[in-house]
Amino acid sequence: MTKPDQEFVITLAQLNPTVGDVEGNAAKARTARARAAADGADLVVLPELFITGYPPEDLVLKPAFQAACRSAIETLARETADGGPAMLIGSPWVEEGKLYNACALLDGGRVSALRFKANLPNYGVFDEKRLFARGPASGPVMVKGVRIGVPICEDIWLEESEDYENIVECLAETGAEILVVPNGSPYARDKTDVRLSIVVARVTESGLPLMYLNQVGGQDELVFDGASFALNADLSVAAQLPDFAESITTLRWSRDNGTWRCMGAIAPLLEGDKADYAACVLGLRDYVRKNGFPGVLLGISGGIDSALCASMAVDALGRDAVRGVMLPFRFTAQVSLDDAAKLADNLGIRYEVLPIADAVNGFEKILSGTFKGLSRDITEENLQARARGTLLMALSNKTGAMVVTTGNKIGNVSWLCDALRRHERRFQPDQGSLQERGVSALEFAQFVEAGRRARPLRRSYSSSHHQPTADRRTAGKPDRPGFATALRHP
């Protein structure tokens, strides 16, 4: 059945890619296009750099990876020769020796258009100026006779300045009818209000309806909440996708007096503590599954911290993938033992008790000569924690399960300060090199303590850098969720 010229159908594919899994991500895009075709869509849109997974970081600099991404895009492009919906998908793209953060329009069996991200974020968790070349301001792309403007993520976040080009203004002046914005925007509490206020400003400036498509899922320390949405040109909400879940949603736009308008479903969004908890669960689930761990294990003390972390782990992975270990010493109260056992029973997880007295007493015996004449202090207390950590890591190494630490924020800060003191005494990094890369000594201590051989940990992103200049509604919180620290076994 042929649609009237006054209707345009767009499918938003709010999906969860995996960084580096080009074939798997392409398969997800293919599934989304099949759904879009079944819905009679003209265009299916996927998030920023979807074919790589976001953020790809230094992986995107490898020529072999660039070639694999391009090959996957060209394969997807050939499949559009079937006359079905066009596809707009994010991918790295090398053009004239420069690497761009691009969106490729696939239609008619070929890559029919490319648009490059012009404004590259370089703060907080974002490091794009080091990875990509800045793209030029470009006009809209043509899809089935409709001019679609494609600003990419940061291209809508800030006003025009010496460093930022007003891409939306350029698109409006060159005839765009609808704005489609692929994003990779991490979660923070109240971030949906920040995004909405930014989109309100861009719609007000341009007079154009806008679709904001965000990815969903966890990637290392980042969590992407999805929560994609669309605004009509009169600032009414055209559609709202759910948060913390994949969603393939088809929106039917109709043209009235030259303006496109849509009235889609409005999904409710989580707020406050419920949203934070959902971010914790999603981040843990994806970290475990995307890294191939068979499950997790954690020390259970009978206290609130371990109870909350165990509950999150069960919600994220299911009870069969969670193992609780009680590690009592002579100072452990019976009520703690009872509460730990009750928690494990309520959650239905595997539970065992491994007393640490032999390990602690063994350490003290080894150190007795060295410590002779010295009074007992926090050193002996810390031996308990060290023994517990050693046993948990031994279980992790033997079973492949990932250890989830159960300390709260204050505990984590104290642990990091202690780690910093210890590592500065026994290892002196190249301070000049670290400073040049913007890595603090505290961050390096995290890197060393976790036993990870990957890049140094990223700093928190403050969304104050991303405040709109019109219709400010709220200031965002740090863009890294505070879920229980998950340490991969070395």
Give the SS3 label for residue 375.
Answer: coil
Residue positions counted in the chain = 490
Q: What torsion do the CA atoms of 29, 31, 35, 37 make, to the nearest 10 degrees?
A: 70
Give yes or no: 170 in active site: no
Nearest residue to 296 (alpha-carbon basis) of 395, 170, 150: 395
Angle at 380 between CA 378 and CA 383, to 5 degrees: 110
Amino acid found at 263: M
Strand 43-45 and strand 86-95: pairing?
A: parallel
CA distance 84 to 189: 39
Q: Which pairs from 257-262 meet CB under 8 Å and 24+ separation? A: 259/209, 259/233, 260/8, 260/146, 260/177, 260/178, 260/209, 260/233, 261/209, 261/232, 261/233, 262/209, 262/230, 262/232, 262/238
Residue type, 218: G
Give the residues across from 186 on adjacent strands.
224
Catalytic, out of 48, 128, 165, 443: 48
- 225: buried, middle or exposed (CB in 10 Å: 19+, 13-18, 0-12)? buried
Cis amide leading into 55 (omega within 30): yes
Pick the catalytic residue from 69, 103, 117, 154: 117
Given the residues 69, 103, 153, 170, select the one marked as catalytic: 153
Q: Is 153 a catalytic residue?
A: yes
Nearest CA to 222 out of 117, 126, 123, 101 is that of: 126
Residue 167 near residue 156 (C-beta atoms within 8 A): yes
> What's at 78, amino acid-wise?
R
Tokens matching residue 54: 């976001």
Q: Is 332 helix (H, G, I), strand (E, B) or coil?
A: coil
Q: Does 364 participate in catalysis according to the annotation?
A: no
Catalytic site residues? 48, 117, 153
